[in-house]
Structure 1
Amino acid sequence: MIDTSAKLFSMTHSVEISGRTLTKRYASWPRDEPAREWAALTVLSRAAPGLTPTPLELSTDPTPSLTMTVVPGEPLGGSLTSAQTTALGDALQSLWSVPVDGLAPIDLQALVDRTRSGLVALRDTDGVIAEAARTWLDNEPTDLTAVHDPVVAHGDPNLTNYLWDGARVRIVDFEDAGLGDRTVELANLVEHLSWRQTDPTSLVRRFSADPARFRAARCLWAGFWLTLIGPGGPSADRNPPGTAEAQAQRLLRLVAG
């Protein structure tokens, strides 16, 4: 099974459920993740009630924790049904329709810098992984840091963060959330490793992103994933043999257009 738990900065948090409330205790918070999650859930619970947990309390003593309501549903995964894909699209539509006032911006430049640095390290390895790294570096995606279509950026579109109750999808885990760009967020979702068994075509058509900008964003995220699961990456040993090579081939196809 492919491991899709890696985040922009890998971390592990503890979760305690008591009745209808859940308390998340943060193990690390280099980018002020507790405040990001609190801010996003506060905005979303007011503007789109029922889409996400409702935040109840943010504590910093002795370490940061956030208490919120529990939302129903089971994590999505594998190959989605048509109904699940449509419901996920509805959830994303709701998410991306909420005003972004008061949210800290996503630091996309940090992602670009980390991806470039990781691929520089991979270009001197062997085989298709090295080829993909060199190809990306020779054809670096165009600048995506300007926000063209501001949305609430979830930041972590792992399928397990979308809960399906048989009728609708709700969204959880907003520690990476902030103000982002819709096309970049759509590309983040499409290129997430958890999506390999599901065709995202209907979602791409639904949100009709600019083709050139969408392709550039997909190349960025595909390169990022190669740095995660390639040799020396934080998730290199968590996936079956051949996963990194398959990602390298995917990256080459994306860059080629």
Structure 2
Amino acid sequence: MTHDIEVTGTTVTKHYTSWSRDEPAREWTALSVLSRAAPGLTPTPLATSAHWLRMTRVPGHPLTAPLAPAQLAALGDALETLWSAPTEDLEPIDLTPLVERTRTGLQSLATTEGVIAEAASTWLADEPPHLTTRDPVLAHGDPNLANYLWDGVRVRIIDFEDSGQGDRTVELANLVEHLAWRNADPAPLVRRFAPDPRRFQAARRLWSGFWLTLIGPGGPSAHRNPPGTAEAQARRVLRLAAGQPPAAPRPPGCPAR
């Protein structure tokens, strides 16, 4: 857990438990930009310090899979608004630490056995190419379904501590490959934003490998998911490496974090 939340009436105070990447400043900057460019899409920042941030409370409940067509359409509208916001005040997101962390984690998994070791070795043997920012957007950085609040009409977005100036294709791939989306079908969003197929595939391969390091043996999220989740992720990595579409969304009821 990277933060604790304190709710008081119409305000929320976020107390950060870590700030090595300057998370409070990242979130403050993103929310400040969005409060001007897209009022109502996100909380409005009210006050901050080195380790906490106070903001308005926005209505809605976290999205859960599977998503209804109206929810997917509203989420697409929210992302389009988010990605239309100005980015010049944002700190650029450097993917190098993500790549290095993924490579190191997969090198460890490659020494294990079975499909997880095969997937790790395959990713390492054909590492995705370096992805530069070609289409700069305000990158949310954490597309967990729980960070999209649905009020029955529109979607609002919360939790911007990983935000910055990023690339739209990389952000869309981050969403598609996030483990929370395994019970949902993001295909309508992919069709809507129509990313460059090669760059999108490379970004998906990067994020799929990252997730394998999180939920594979010894990973920080291994204990949060039921048996077989890591093996399913390994098979996903292999299918993406082979240029094949991943398996269809899983039936409801299989948690993913």
Paired residue secondary structure (2:224): coil
Instruction: Provide the rounded CA distance (Å) in 1 between the counterparts of 2:187 and 2:54.
Output: 36
Question: Is residue 2:93 matched to residue 1:106?
Answer: yes
Paired residue secondary structure (2:138): strand
Instruction: Provide the rounded CA distance (Å) in 2 between the counterparts of 1:255 and 1:174.
Output: 30
Match of 1:224 in 2: 210
With structure 2 as the length reference, what TM-score do the two structures score?
0.94
Relative contact order (C-alpha < 8 Å, sep 6+): which is higher? 1
User: 1:49-94 CA deviation, whole Å, 9 max, x = no partner?
Assistant: 000000000123xxx1100000000000120000000000000000
Match of 1:47 in 2: 37
User: 1:103-134 CA deviation, whole Å, 9 max, x = no partner?
Assistant: 00112111011001100010010100000000
Q: Where does structure 2 lack aligned partners over 5 or more consecutive residues?
A: 244-257
Match of 2:255 in 1: none
Question: Is residue 2:143 matched to residue 1:153?
Answer: no
Provide the identity percentage.
71
Instruction: Provide the rounded CA distance (Å) in 1 between the counterparts of 2:82 and 2:3.
Output: 24
Q: Where does structure 1 lack aligned partners over 5 or more consecutive residues?
A: 1-10
Instruction: Provide the rounded CA distance (Å) in 1 between the counterparts of 2:230 and 2:123.
Output: 15
What does residue range 19-98 of structure 1 map to in structure 2 within 5 Å?
19-60=9-50, 64-98=51-85
Match of 2:180 in 1: 194
User: 1:121-148 CA deviation, whole Å, 9 max, x = no partner?
Assistant: 100101000000000001110111x110
With structure 1 as the length reference, what TM-score do the two structures score?
0.94
Query: How many pairs are equivalent?
Result: 243
RMSD: 0.6
What is the deviation of 1:254? 0.4
Instruction: Provide the rounded CA distance (Å) in 2 between the counterparts of 1:49 and 1:78.
Output: 27
Instruction: Provide the rounded CA distance (Å) in 2 between the counterparts of 1:217 and 1:181.
Output: 10
2:115 to 128, 135, 151: 128
Give the partner amino acid of 1:22: V
What is the deviation of 1:12? 2.8
Give the partner amino acid of 2:144: N
